[in-house]
Structure 1
Amino acid sequence: MSLLSAYIMPHPPLAVPAVGRGSERGIPATMAAYYKVGSEIARQDPDTIIIVSPHAPTYADCFQIISGESEQMSLASFGAEKPILTMEYDRPLSTLIARHAQDNNIPVRLWTRDKGPAIRVDHGSFVPLYFVAVGQQSETDDTEALKLKAKIVRLSFSGLSPQAHREYGMAIRSAIEASGQDVIFIASGDLSHRLKKDGPYGLAPRGELFDRDLTSAIGRGDFGRLLTYSADLLEEVSECGLSSFNILGGVLAATNFEAELLSYDGTFGVGYAIAAFRNIVKDRPDLEKGGRAASGSGMRPDTRLSDKETPVIPWLTEGDPYVGLARHTIETYIKTGVKPHLSKAEWDALPSEMTESRAGAFVTLHKQGQLRGCIGTINPGYSSLAEEIISNAIAASTRDPRFASVKSEELPALEYSVDVLRPPEKIDSIDELDIKRYGVIVNSGMRRGLLLPNIDGIDSVEQQVDIARQKAGIGRSEPISLERFEVIRHK
């Protein structure tokens, strides 16, 4: 029981023939991909479909989960009272998602409503689910009264930060794993609405470039790229999908998957992309013996090699093993484009605290004394510290929005450090900070900025807090709460 697959799907009402009345033929690639995905989902026969819709009721300060017993939807406000789509809600999974989000301090609102006579209109949900319902139909089924076989969890996004959406997705994934159900996840959303002068929203100078960059990232499964777009760019291009996609990025975090961009159309001045994410498996080091490590175990195999049998691991023979793992990861990834999969011998050769414990970690790169990349996690997202370091090493070398990806010719000049975070603690005043001993976390709502301790050029706690504010986009006049933490630094 697991996450079977995930999809990005747009929601133009004209894609439903009763609304389009032939105009859907203007987006042929999108229509072919719709029917392909609908049939593909029907063949997988999921227990539940989770869908995030930009047109579900949305709140600025929290995520909403829409639940109840059942719902009927149509596109009546778009001129088509039929077909009518009937769906049943998965109330237990909705409740489980809310609990996992709350356990991670993510604000959610569970809205439970009983079945009523009104037929709702949420085209962000209706359009993707319509093609799923069509995919499960036989030739004799009623085409004007559709009913989904799978139950539904319907979600909205929020006005919170992109990182908050990603963290919400991670909580959703943990709820899926705990549910024991087979689940499909759909992120509904359109790309730029401003691709043509004669389109419904006019032309944005960077609209086409944005769509091209976003579809490229989607096609290669690079959800880290989605966190780097500036607020002014997003306002200019008028997209409505990125928040949904960032939630999906969290759902797929800590997994391996195959990404495929199935289609893109911009015929009517709005970008429509459909993508599939298949063969999703939890991201664990492969072992030469015994197959893949048990999902979620975070433990080394019980059968260890004896000292006499232990082979020499070249990247562990000199220096700190934390730094050795970060260097080995980055050198392998930059040279081959593939994340290293540790053999059983390599896994066993790591210190037990790296393979049997969990912690947040930051990987920092310097080149000729200048920062070259730094990415990390406050709270652990993997089953072991070693996996945390592998993930953050790749991110630091390829996804730090301040720098271009590291090139292979730079590798000999890189200097590495790995900071392992101890659990943060709340403090009442900056008087409790020490720039050499403590890092700081600055919080304002769901915005969170972090700065590590003992950084060259940081001379006061006021400067430390100010830089952490800037990293989170928190203004100097906004109220904040503070946390401090210690690190174990490996160099």
Structure 2
Amino acid sequence: MGKLSLAAKITHVPSMYLSELPGPHHGCRQAAIDGHKRIGERCRELGVDTIVVSDVHWLVNAGYHVNCNSRFKGVYTSNELPHFIKNMAYDYPGNPELGRLIAARATEQGVFTRAHEIDSLELEYGTLVPMRYMNGDQHFKVVSIAGWCAWHQLDESRRFGAALKDAIEASDANVAFLASGSLSHRFNDNGSPEEAIHMISREFFRQVDERVVQLWKAGDFATFCKMLPEYNAHCFGEGGMHDTAMLLGLLGWDKYDKPVEIVTDYFASSGTGQINAIFPLP
């Protein structure tokens, strides 16, 4: 009998990696890095053996997809932001059995999903950044789910999340699920000054993000689920906020009512709104 032991919404901003390097931004994302490390420590305390990540940097145009190779190893440079993440080495074990089960259960429940074990199907940085800080010693197996679902409905991802819960419970794994994506996600305009790396792109987005965080702290997901489609549309949700829909589908959607635990306070990064937050299990 498998078990879901932890669920969280996390940042994966590439400036976390930049924060490690010598230069003007050294240490700028230490709070976010520390938050990832605390989540990793919590996973260890809970006996987690596999981390499943919904990665909004993995774009898919049809169906749902799970990357569940037995091993993920390589050197990563971001095509999107090569001046932030370049030559980042990684090496993590996978969990093919869980990945196949996720795909089978979701498909059985009407959300067609494929599981992939392909060496050339690489991980994206929505998975690689958190694993760098949570899983540097390869303690956890990793499964990555495509979270940028370009032509999908949020309700499909809600249903995928519910199927994911069934798959975890039918497995022999102890799982943590991470929705790896931002709150608002409108980048700064090209040509913005370098210090804009620490700014929100529009005050409107900050105000909506802060209201969302208030709702989460109050456990008012009945209200949040009602506003999620418009929040996504008007605040440029990253990956369509399908990672968040999966997370809440896993937890019970609008019936979920637990106040979240803020691990890293809300912050702006390159125009976008970011947070690390643990969602207590129902």
| TM-score of Structure 1 vs Structure 2, range by shorter chain | 0.7 to 0.9
| Equivalent of 1:102 in 102, 107, 124 | 107
Q: Which residue in the other structure is 1:211 paired with?
A: 209
1:149 CA displacement: 2.0
In the TM superposition, residue 210 of structure 1 has moved relative to its aligned partner by: 2.1
SS in 2 for 1:203: coil
1:12 and 2:13 matched: yes
Task: Please state if 1:112 is matched with 2:117.
Answer: yes
**129, 132, 135: which is aligned to 2:134?**
132
SS at match of 2:57: coil
Q: Which contiguous aligned blocks of 4+ residues in structure 1 show a shift greater than 6 angstroms?
A: none
**Contact 2:216–2:259 under 8 Å retained in 1:** no
What secondary structure, in the 3-state scheme, does the structure 1 residue paired with 2:117 have?
Answer: strand
Q: Is the 8 A contact 1:85 1:130 kept in 2?
A: yes
Q: Aligned-pair distance for 1:19?
A: 5.5
**Deviation per residue, 1:351-371 (Å, 9 max, x gap):** xxxxxxxxxxxxxxxxxxxxx
1:156 aligned residue = 146
Structure 1 distance, partners of 2:10, 2:228, is 23
- Give the residue type in structure 2 aligned to 1:35: K
d(CA) in 1 for partners of 2:24, 2:38? 19
Shift of 1:23: 1.8
Query: The residue matched to 2:72 in structure 1 has which SS?
Result: strand
The answer for the alignment partner of 1:38 in structure 2 is: 40
- The residue number in structure 2 matching 1:52 is 54
Question: Matched residue of 2:152: which SS?
Answer: coil
Q: Within 1, Cα distance between the matches of 2:256 and 2:207?
A: 29
Instruction: Calculate the TM-score normalised by the size of structure 2.
Output: 0.81
Q: How does 1:265-304 map to 2 (within 5 A)?
A: 265-278=267-280, 280-281=281-282
Over 3 Å counting, the alpha-carbon distance change for 1:237 and 1:73 in structure 2 is farther
Shift of 1:216: 2.1
Relative contact order: is structure 1 or structure 2 higher (C-alpha 8 Å, sep ≥ 6)?
Answer: 2
Bigger shift: residues 234-243 or 174-183: 234-243
- Cα distance in 1 for partners of 2:22, 2:235 equals 25
In 2: Cα distance, 1:185 partner to 1:123 partner: 16
The separation in 2 between residues aligned to 1:74 and 1:176, in whole angstroms, is 30
How does 1:360-439 map onto structure 2 within 5 Å?
Answer: none
Change (3 A) 1:121 1:64: closer
Question: Which whole-Å CA distance do the structure 1 matches of 2:187 and 2:69 have between them?
Answer: 38
- Identity over the aligned pairs, expressed in percent? 20
Contact 2:65 2:115 (8 Å CA) reproduced = yes
Q: Shift of residue 248 of structure 1? A: 0.5
Contact 1:261/1:275 (<8 A) preserved: yes
1:187 has 2:179 as partner? yes
State the alpha-carbon separation in 1 of the partners of residues 6 and 257 from structure 2. 11
Rg larger in structure: 1
Task: Give the paired residue count.
Answer: 264
Cα distance change of structure 1 residues 225 and 196 upon mapping to structure 2, 3 Å threshold: farther
Q: 2:90 aligns with which of 85, 92, 102?
A: 85
3-state DSSP of counterpart to 2:238? coil
User: d(CA) in 1 for partners of 2:162 and 2:274?
Assistant: 26
Shift of 1:220: 3.4
Secondary structure of the corresponding residue to residue 149 of structure 1: coil
Q: Distance in 2 between matches of 1:231 and 1:20?
A: 40
Q: Tell me by how many angstroms 1:259 deviates.
A: 2.1
Post-superposition offset of 1:5: 0.8
Q: Indicate the structure with greater helix content.
A: 2
Matches of 2:238 and 2:115 in 1, distance apart? Answer: 23
With normalisation by structure 1, the TM-score equals: 0.48
Q: Classify 1:271/1:202 alpha carbon distance in 2 versus 1 (closer, same or farther; 3 Å).
A: closer
Partner of 1:67: 68
Provide Cα deviations, 1:212-254, integer angstroms capped at 9, x if missing partner.
Answer: 1222233334444443337565344222162101100011117
Cα deviation, 1:375-418, whole Å, max 9, x if unaligned, reads xxxxxxxxxxxxxxxxxxxxxxxxxxxxxxxxxxxxxxxxxxxx
Runs of at least 5 residues in structure 1 that lack an aligned partner in the other structure: 135-146, 282-491
Runs (5+) with no aligned partner, structure 2? none
CA distance in 2, matches of 1:235, 1:33: 28
Q: SS in structure 2 opposite 1:23?
A: coil
